[in-house]
Amino acid sequence: MSQALIDQARGVMEGNDRGTYTVPTHGLYPFQWNWDSALSALGFSHFDMDRAWVEVETLMAHQWDDGMVPHIIFHEPDDGYFPGPNVWQTRRDVPTTGITQPAVAGFALRKLYDRTEDKAVARERLAKLLPKVHAWHKWFYRDRDPKSTGLVAIIHPWESGRDNSVDWDEGLDAVPIEGIAPFTRRDTTHANPDHRPSDEQYKCYIWLVEYFRGLGWDNAKLHDASPFCLVDPGFNGILIRSCDDVADLAEFLGDPSMASEARAMATKGRAALESLWNPTLGQYTCYNRAAGHLQDTPSIGGLLAAIADVPHARADALARRIALLAERCGYLVPSHDPIDGAFDSLRYWRGPTWLIVNYLIAEGLGRSEQGAMAQRILADSLRLIEKSGFAEYYDPNSGEPCGGGDFTWTAAMVIEILKNQKVPA
Ligand code: GLC
C-alpha cells in the first residue's frame, strides 16, 4: 500500500516538475512558490537528491539584493493567474512578487544536507546556499522587526502562507479598498469559489499590493507604512527553527560567525515567542502589531509554532489543545477551531486541513516529547490521502478534497511521511 502511494505521489511531483522548479499545481498556480518549493524539495530528496537541491537553488537565485526571498517567481508568462507581474511591477529581470513567505528553506536545507550521502557534494552546494538563506533571515529581523522585539511581522496575508485565515480579518479591517484598479480574479475559474477567499478579501489583498508598489517596494519603508502588520506565531516559529538549522549547518561548514549570528536570532526569537502565549486558549495566537494587542483567534498559526522547539510545557499544552480539536472534527489538524463561529470547513485556511502544516507540527511535537500526538497527526494525514488523493487541502469533517488537485507539496509530504516517519500504512 505505502509503495503504491509513494509511486502515485512521485507521479504528481513529476507532472508538476518544470525542470528546475515545480509548480504547486497545473492551472491554479503556474509559477514557483517560495515555501511550496522548499517543502517539495523534501519529497524529491527521497528519489532524486540532485533535483531536491536544484529546487532550492532556483528559489534562492531570485533573492533580492536586500535579502528578501520573494513569494512567487514568475518564470514563464501565464495569463491564468492574477495578480501577475504587471500588477506587482517589481522591475526584476525574471519578475517576482514583492512580498515573502514562510522561511522554511533553512529547515529544508538541513534535511537535504543530512540525507545527502556524498558530504563533499553537499558541502559544496551548501556553501553557496547557506549565506543566502542567512541573509534572508537577517533581512527579516532588520526590516520586519525594526524595533528589535525578536518577532517579525507580516505586512500582507499572503506572506503567512495562510492567505484567508481568520487571523487576518481584524487586520484587514484597517485596509481601505477605495481606489484600486478594477480586476478579474482567475483563481475562481480553476477552483470552486466556495473553497476560496471572498471578493472583499481579494480587494484588500490587491489594495496592499498597489500601496506597496507605490512605495517602490522599498522594504526599509514598508513595515512602518503598512496598515496591516501582524505577528504570526507559526511564521515566527518556522523562522526560529530555520535560524537554528542554519546555525547547525554553519557549524558543519566551519563558519563560527554565521553560526553565532544565526543562533542568537533563534534564541531571541524563541524567548519572544512566549509573549504570544494565550493562556485562555492554551495555544499561541497572533499579535496585531498595527493595533497593539494579542488576538484571540483560535487558528492553526498558534499550533504551528510547535516547529520552533518550544519549551516542553508549551508543547505539552499544544498537544492537549490538538487533542481537543480532534474531538471536534474527523481529521487533524483543522486550520481553525471548529467550535469558533468563523470556522468554515471548506474555505481554504478558515477550517480545512493541510498536509504541509500537519507535517511541520508533527515534526516539532516529535522533537518535544509529544511523539504520540505527532504520530496521530501523521496517521490522520495518510487517512486523508487514502480517502481523497493529493488535494490542496481537505474538509476536516468529511475528508472531502478541496481547492486544486494533484498538488505538489501534498504529494511531497506523503513521500516524506511514508519514507521518513515510518508510519504504518
Ligand atoms: C496559496 C496558499 C499558499 C501557497 C500557495 C501555492 O496561496 O495559501 O500557502 O504557497 O497557494 O500553493
* Structure confidence by residue, pLDDT tens digits, 91-111: 999 999 999 999 999 999 999
H or E element at residue 170:
helix 169-173
Mean pLDDT over all residues of the chain? Answer: 96
Average pLDDT over residues 218-235: 98
Which residues belong to the active site? 163, 392
Mutating to test ligand 1, I would choose from 33, 347, 355, 407 the residue with most ligand atoms within 8 A of its C-beta, which is 33
Q: Give one word for 23, left, alpha or beta, with left for phi > 0 and alpha for psi -120 to 50.
A: beta
* CA of residue 83 to ligand 1 center, whole Å: 14
Q: Kindly list the protein residues whose Cβ atom lies closer than 6 A to any atom of ligand 1.
A: 24, 29, 33, 35-36, 161, 163
Q: What is the pLDDT of residue 422?
A: 58
Average pLDDT over residues 395-411: 97
Average pLDDT over residues 132-146: 98
Task: Give the pLDDT band (50/70/90) at residue 195.
Answer: confident
pLDDT at 213 over 60: yes
d(CA 384, CA 375): 14
Closest CA to ligand 1's atom 12? 24
pLDDT at 62 over 50: yes
Q: What is the pLDDT of residue 178?
A: 87
Cell numbers that stand for 275 in this block:
509573549
Average pLDDT over residues 223-235: 98
* CA of residue 161 to ligand 1 center, whole Å: 6
* CA of residue 194 to ligand 1 center, whole Å: 16
Atom of ligand 1 nearest to the CA of 408: 12
Average pLDDT over residues 370-396: 98
Yes or no: say if 197 and 189 are a contact pair by the CB < 8 Å rule.
no
Lowest mean pLDDT segment, chosen from 80-84, 143-147, 212-216: 80-84
d(CA 289, CA 302): 16
Q: What percent of the chain has pLDDT over 90?
A: 93
Do strands 230-231 and 287-288 pair parallel, antiparallel, or not at all (unpaired)? antiparallel
pLDDT at 425 over 50: no
* CA of residue 27 to ligand 1 center, whole Å: 13
Q: Which of 54, 46, 63 minimizes the C-alpha distance to 17?
A: 54
Q: pTM of this prediction?
A: 0.98
Average pLDDT over residues 77-96: 96
Task: Give the pLDDT band (50/70/90) at residue 423.
Answer: very low
Q: CATH for 20-315?
A: 1.50.10.10
Task: Give the pLDDT band (50/70/90) at residue 420.
Answer: confident
Average pLDDT over residues 195-223: 95
Q: What is the pLDDT of residue 218?
A: 98
Dihedral Cα 359, 365, 371, 375, nearest 10 deg:
-20
d(CA 390, CA 401): 8
Closest CA to ligand 1's atom 4? 161
Greatest Cα pair distance, the chain, in angstroms, is 56
* CA of residue 34 to ligand 1 center, whole Å: 9
Q: Which of 75, 69, 66 minimizes the C-alpha distance to 23?
A: 75
d(CA 375, CA 326): 13
Yes or no: say if 71 and 17 are a contact pair by the CB < 8 Å rule.
no
d(CA 97, CA 64): 11
pLDDT at 342 over 60: yes
Atom of ligand 1 nearest to the CA of 356: 9
In 232-300, DSSP assigns E strands to: 277-278, 283-284, 287-288, 293-294
pLDDT at 200 over 50: yes
Yes or no: say if 236 and 152 are a contact pair by the CB < 8 Å rule.
yes
Atom of ligand 1 nearest to the CA of 392: 12
Helix, strand counts (H, E) of the chain: 18, 9
